[in-house]
Structure formats: C-alpha cells, structure tokens
Amino acid sequence: MNGIHDMGGMQGMGEIGYEENAPMFHADWEIRVQALHAASGSFRGGPLRPTVEQIPAAEYLRMSYYERWLTALIERLVQAGVVTREEIEQSRAARALEQTIAPVTPENAADWLLRTPQTERQTQVAARFAIDDRVRGRNIHPAGHTRMPRYTRLRTGNVERDRGVFALPDSEGDEPRLQHVYLVRFAARELWGETAHARDSVRIDMWEDYLEPA
Amino acid sequence: MAKSNSGSVDRRGFLKGATAGALAAASPATLHAQDHQDVPSDPALRVKALESVLVEKGLVDSAALDVLVDTFENRVGPRNGAQVVARAWVDPAYKQRLLDDGTAAMAEFGFSGWQGEKLTVVENTPTVHNVIVCTLCSCYPWPLLGLAPTWYKSDAYRARTVVDPRGVLRELGLQVSDEIEVRVWDSNAASRYLVLPERPEGTDSLSEEQLAALVSRDAMIGVAKVESTVDGDAP
C-alpha cells in the first residue's frame, strides 16, 4: 500500500538521532515487545509487518519503533481472537482459550531464535528475467502489503543477480505465489534526477511481479 | 458521536475497541486512529498487561521470554559480525566464501538465526562505499549485528539514505569523496546485508582477535569506517 511506512526518498522526516555506540534498546519494555513478538509466532496468525503498515499515518509517525510493533501485536492478537482489549485493560484473562497451543519454553527459546529460517524455496520456477536484463518497476499500487517501494515505480534498472525463488509477500495469507527475486541496480540519477551523484546507485531485491521488461 | 453509525465498529477497529474475537478484520482502508484509552497508554504498562494475559492463557512462558531477551542481548550482536569481518581480512579463502554465501560463511562460526537468511556481504574498497538501509521497515542481520539501533530504524534515516546517501553519511560523521562510488542497499526483501569494511592501514601486526576488536557495528552498516587505533597508541 502507498502507506507512510513506504518512506524511501521522502524528505522532512526530522533528525536521524544518530548515537555512536547506540544501545540496542532504551527501555526494558522495548526488548520485551521483541521477545513477545518472537514468542507469538504460533498463535498470532501471521506476520506483524502488514499490521504495522496499517497503523494510520499520523499515529505511525507519532509512535516510537517499538510502540508501532506493540500496537500491531495487540491488534493482531485481538483480530486472531486470542485476547480482547478488555483483558489487556484489566491485565487479566477473562476466558480460557478453546484450543491449547504449546508455548515457547525456556528450554527451546534460544534454539527457536537461533534457527535460520529457510525462506528460499527449492521449487523449480521459470525465471522471466536474466542477469543484465533492463527492467522497469511496474506501475502497480497494491492495497495491502508489498515489498515494492514506490520510488522504484516506472524506474529502469539492471538485473544484477537472480536471488532464487521466494514466496511473493503481497500474497501473504493466500496460496503462496512462488517466483524469482532479482537484485536490481538503479542508477541514482534514474531515481532522483540530475542532482544525484553520477556514480551512485541503489540496489534492491525485487520480486518478478514488480518488474516488466524495459 | 457523529461517527456512531453502522460503520463504527470497523472504523474504530484499529487501536481501539475491535470486537473480541472478531476474525473478520476491519478492512485496512477503513481503519482510523481514535483515542485508545481502553488499553494502558504507557507502553511499558501495556506490554506488562499483555504478557500477564498471555501467560494466564498458557500461550507464553515468562521464563522463555527471559531467555529470548538474553539471547537478543548476549547471543547475537556486533561482536559476531566483527569476528566474521576480521576472519575475512586475514583469510582470503574465507573472504571469498563470505562474499559468495554469507549465511553459509557465518555458520562456520556457529552464527545463525532469524534475519540471517540469504545474508549478502558487500565489500568496501578504495573505490566503492556501501551503506545499508531498510526503507520500508527495519530489516537487519540479527545474527551478526543484533537488534538494530534506534537511529537505523528512524524515519529520517529510512527516508533519506536512498535519496541523499552522502548527506546522511556526512551528518553521521563520514565524508565520502566524490571519486568514490556510493552503493545504497535497500534491504527490504529476500536478503539481509552486511558491509565488509576496509581493513585499516597499519594493522599488519594485529591478530585476528585484535582486528575484531576494532570493528564497530556502524562500520558494518556502512555509516563509519574502521579506524586502526587511537593515534599514538600501540596496538
């Protein structure tokens, strides 16, 4: 979706707030959100990122990073019927769940986090593009989740690498659509015009559906 | 009260009172911000409340959360990345394996985990400077760098790095000469990225371990260079 999260290329976002040797988090609750996110994979009914992206723009900009994820986590769990807002308000469970779901245990928690996910699919799928092909970002505006930033639309680049076959994230929840992902190089001047540095470039992995021959 | 019409449940879906167990989620287009006083507004209290409810329902074990926190804090992080970088500096064969398949090469150290899939290592050279960003969110190579610092996830860094990388780097204290090509990697999809920084001059006598101690997280994101040692200090 053309949401506020798709902010690559925007200006006027304020300070970066850079800190040298910045800590990984600033308050204990922040890493607790991260841990709850990790521990909720089996019962939250899907990835959180699409839900983060649905936070209304004004709210999104006001929230800190971990507030966004906490808001999305609660929203997701409410939508999945796992908790109610009243329960969270009361800090007490009002009713038991109908089905039991085995929680992540102290014994398997570290392994759970330190297992590298296998996102690449071994399925054979025909590749539409080859290395060095000229490609253009399609003029598409999916209403839901997508990994195609708007700054790549209608811009022309070169395929530098075939990443292999992955499920198109735009189809999350539906039957997975497996297709090749390509590393595409866009010249900075193609994206940002003549004031960009002639030598510079942006590289980004793009699913086949995001591209057309140029 | 103007909004208390038939659409009000959907409209209030986000941040406020979505009906308990309503599996039919509000359509994204109709989600509106509202006050959200029915859950504690202080995020620390909200997290605590959420955890209590999930523990009571048997979905979460607090001790397991403690282990996850400890794993994030102590098992992943930039010390892992620094070891990989130092090895690549002293062992050309390892460096080649790292550039060919980052995930397999970090596994030689036993490093693995979420956000470690399809790790792509990009090499800084005297003519190319690489910098990593995730414009859409916060993609970041957890096994080697741990959780991302706040500034990496800031709206300004995400927004500006693709359009004005040299300006961002300058603001963060790194001046990149006009002669050098800047490559921005928007890490939003299949791969996670790590910058292999240039080995600083005057470090020939250092051991792999001493070299690793020089490598900062920010150099592996591409917003800093690795400095040899403080001027005048013996290594």
Whether A6 has its CB under 8 Å from any CB of chain B: the answer is: yes
For A161, the enclosing helix (H) or strand (E) is strand A156-167
The Cα B155–Cα A9 span in angstroms is 11
Q: How far is A69 from chain B (nearest CA, A)?
A: 11
Kindly state the tokens that stand for B110: 């036993």
A101 and A160, same domain (yes or no):
no
Question: How many interface pairs between A and B have CB atoms less than 8 angstroms apart?
Answer: 339
In a domain, B16, yes or no: no
Least confident among A3-7, A40-44, B39-43, B107-111 = B39-43
pLDDT in tens, A191-202: 999 999 999 999
In a domain, A79, yes or no: yes
A190 and A148, same domain (yes or no):
yes
- pLDDT higher than threshold 50 for residue B46: yes
pLDDT in tens, A132-170: 999 999 999 999 999 999 999 999 999 999 999 999 999
CB contact under 8 A, A13 and B28: no
Average pLDDT, chain B: 85
User: What's B145's domain CATH number?
Assistant: 3.90.330.10
Using alpha carbons only, give the angle B197, B199, B200 rounded to the nearest 5 degrees. Answer: 115
In a domain, A16, yes or no: no
**pLDDT attached to residue B3:** 36
Whether A201 has its CB under 8 Å from any CB of chain B: the answer is: yes
CB contact under 8 A, A116 and B157: no
CB contact under 8 A, B20 and A96: no
User: What's A141's domain CATH number?
Assistant: 2.30.30.50
- What is the span of the domain harbouring residue B104? 77-221
- Which chain A residues contact residue B107 at CB under 8 A? 116
Kindly state the tokens that stand for B228: 């040899």
Nearest C-alpha neighbor of B226 from the set B212, B214, B211:
B214
- pLDDT higher than threshold 70 for residue A108: yes
Average pLDDT, chain A: 94
A97 and A143, same domain (yes or no):
no
Q: Which of the 8 DSSP states describes residue B27? A: P
CB contact under 8 A, A119 and B73: no
B83 and B148, same domain (yes or no):
yes
- Chain B: residue nearest A65 by CA? B153
Q: Per-residue pLDDT averaged across B22-31, rounded?
A: 35
Residues of B forming the active site: 134, 137-139
Tell me, rounded to whole angstroms, the distance of Cα B157 from its chain centroid: 12
- What is the span of the domain harbouring residue A161? 134-213
- pLDDT higher than threshold 70 for residue B17: no
Question: How far apart, in Å, are the Cα atoms of A41 and each of A18, A86, A121?
Answer: 31, 22, 20
Kindly state the tokens that stand for B85: 């970088």
- pLDDT higher than threshold 80 for residue A171: no
In a domain, A49, yes or no: yes
pLDDT in tens, A60-100: 999 999 999 999 999 999 999 999 999 999 999 998 888 88
In a domain, A125, yes or no: no
Q: Which residue has the higher pLDDT, B14 or A109?
A: A109
Q: Per-residue pLDDT averaged across A111-126, rounded?
A: 91
Strand-pair partners of A137 = A153, A211
Neighbours of B146 (CB within 10 A): 22
Q: Which of the 8 DSSP states describes residue B99? A: H
**Domain total in chain A:** 2
Residue in A56, A90, A207 nearest the CB of B31: A56
B121 and B217, same domain (yes or no):
yes
Nearest C-alpha neighbor of A51 from the set A66, A36, A72:
A72
**pLDDT attached to residue B6:** 36
Q: How far is B91 from chain A (nearest CA, A)?
A: 25
B124 and B175, same domain (yes or no):
yes
Quick one: pLDDT band at residue A46, thresholds 50, 70, 90? confident
Residue in B54, B72, B171 nearest the CB of A34: B72
Residue in A1, A74, A206 nearest the CB of B189: A206
Residues 131-190, chain A, touching B (beta carbon < 8 A): 143-144, 147, 149, 151, 163-164, 166, 169, 181, 183, 188
Domain termination site, one of A113, A146, A173: A113
Residue in B14, B168, B178 nearest the CB of A55: B14
CB contact under 8 A, B67 and A84: no
- pLDDT higher than threshold 90 for residue B95: yes
In a domain, A155, yes or no: yes
Q: Percent of chain A beyond pLDDT 70?
A: 99
Residue B215 CB partners (closer than 8 Å, separation 6+): B78, B81, B82, B85, B86, B197, B226
**pLDDT attached to residue B12:** 40
CB contact under 8 A, B57 and A93: yes
Residue in B50, B57, B70 nearest the CB of A36: B50
Domain termination site, one of B75, B99, B120: B75
B123 and B56, same domain (yes or no):
no
**Domain total in chain B:** 2
CB contact under 8 A, B64 and A39: yes
**pLDDT attached to residue B40:** 62
- Nearest-10 Cα torsion for B220, A146, A157, B218: -10
CB contact under 8 A, A191 and B163: yes
Write the ipTM: 0.96
pLDDT in tens, B1-10: 333 333 333 3
Q: Per-residue pLDDT averaged across B202-223, rounded?
A: 97
Quick one: pLDDT band at residue B234, thresholds 50, 70, 90? very low
Q: Percent of chain B beyond pLDDT 70?
A: 80
A43 and A101, same domain (yes or no):
yes
Strand-pair partners of A183 = A161, A205
Strand, helix or coil at B130?
strand
Q: How many CA atoms lie within 13 A of B46 on its CB side?
A: 23
B182 and B101, same domain (yes or no):
yes
A189 and A143, same domain (yes or no):
yes
Kindly state the tokens that stand for B230: 């403080």
Q: Per-residue pLDDT averaged across B211-223, rounded?
A: 97
**pLDDT attached to residue A111:** 92
